[in-house]
Amino acid sequence: MTSSINQNGYRPTLPNFRNLGIMLRALVLANGMALAAALVKGDSFAAALAAFTEWSALLEPVLLLCLVSTYALNNRLAGLSYRAGIAAVVAIAVLAAVLVHAGTTRVVGVDQVAPLAKHLIVSVIVALVLLGYFHLRGRALSPALAEARLQALQARIRPHFLFNSLNAVLSLIRSEPKRAEQALEDLSELFRVLMADNRELAPLRQEVELCRQYLALEQLRMGERLQVEWHVDNLPGEALIPPLVLQPLLENAVYHGIEPTAEPGVISINIYKRGDEVHAVLRNPYREEGSHHAGNKMALANIRERLALHFDEEARLETEVRAGSYQVHITVPYVTARLKKGAAHP
């Protein structure tokens, strides 16, 4: 365990207000608070429903205006200290309450609108509760727990792959020393990345290069049985992804799709950017008989959790079996080092 994983290492930050998961959680939690207040206030279902409608009418416009404002100001808020950021968010909530109260008063009249003081109190309480929730969630995910979880969730190359690769290199030392030397360099780089501190996002081009080195090692021992098709002409190499996400999927593709049969098989890798998302589509042969696809579930669950820790609800991992092939489709938001500078973590 690295020395950075300790209870004192947590540094609170504001949530990334542009993250879809953050916005959804804010909406659900705020409306949950309104529902709880309505249930406490009402002594019957009809009374609770009326109270919930009242609280929602009071809260919803302010909440939506706050979400829009924090989305627009996310990068500026992320540049502030944590305490200054909290003060800024509370100030946004107060300003939103004042604006909503003034607009509603003008439309329906003073008598039909709750007092401004009530708007302000509700808005500040909800803002502080939401910030407190995201603080606790951030503390639960970083670093004492999340960093340790990320380290534990990192894909681990199976020992038999190391032994097989070393045996393949030994068989080449006399006949093809140059090729054996290159293979040892690839193996060394692969394990250097595996044993590194992989908590931070890394450029996609590095992951692709690592995958090329891994597949080169596998081709060394499997020969023509393993055929690889790369479709990376539109590769967004600067995009940031969690390290060791694609390589374990390729390892599974070899283990589950190529090794069980003596026939040649094709592994296809298609990586591209579409809009504000990066897509990675991996396909390998699928055979019901003689395969061991059940082992995929643990690796896929591992990767899903790592994606969620980094990107929350904005990342997806989907699998599909079609016409004798097994497909894994990963979608992550397009994030670069430049874009990440001003954005807090989910």
> Per-residue pLDDT tens for 233-248?
989 999 999 888 898 8
- pTM of the predicted protein model: 0.65
CATH of 154-340, one of 3.40.50.300, 3.40.50.11780, 3.30.565.10, 2.10.260.10: 3.30.565.10
Residue whose tokens read 């992951």: 207
Sheet holding 226-231, edge to edge: 226-231, 265-274, 277-285, 325-333, 316-322
What is the C-alpha separation between 308 and 315, in angstroms, rounded? 7
pLDDT at 155: 45
pLDDT at 91: 95
Q: What are the pLDDT digits (tens) for 124-134?
A: 999 999 999 98
User: What are the extents of the domains in the chain?
Assistant: 7-144, 154-340
Mean pLDDT on 315-338: 90
What is the C-alpha separation between 93 and 125, in angstroms, rounded? 10
Binned at pLDDT 50, 70 and 90, residue 5 comes out as very low
DSSP 1-63: --TT-SGGG-------TT-HHHHHHHHHHHHHHHHHHHHHH-SSHHHHHHHHHHHHHHHHHHH
Q: What are the pLDDT digits (tens) for 30-67?
A: 888 888 888 887 777 788 788 788 778 778 888 999 99
What is the C-alpha separation between 14 and 212, in angstroms, rounded? 38
Binned at pLDDT 50, 70 and 90, residue 329 comes out as very high
Q: What are the pLDDT digits (tens) for 137-194?
A: 877 765 544 554 555 445 455 555 667 677 777 877 877 888 888 888 877 877 776 6
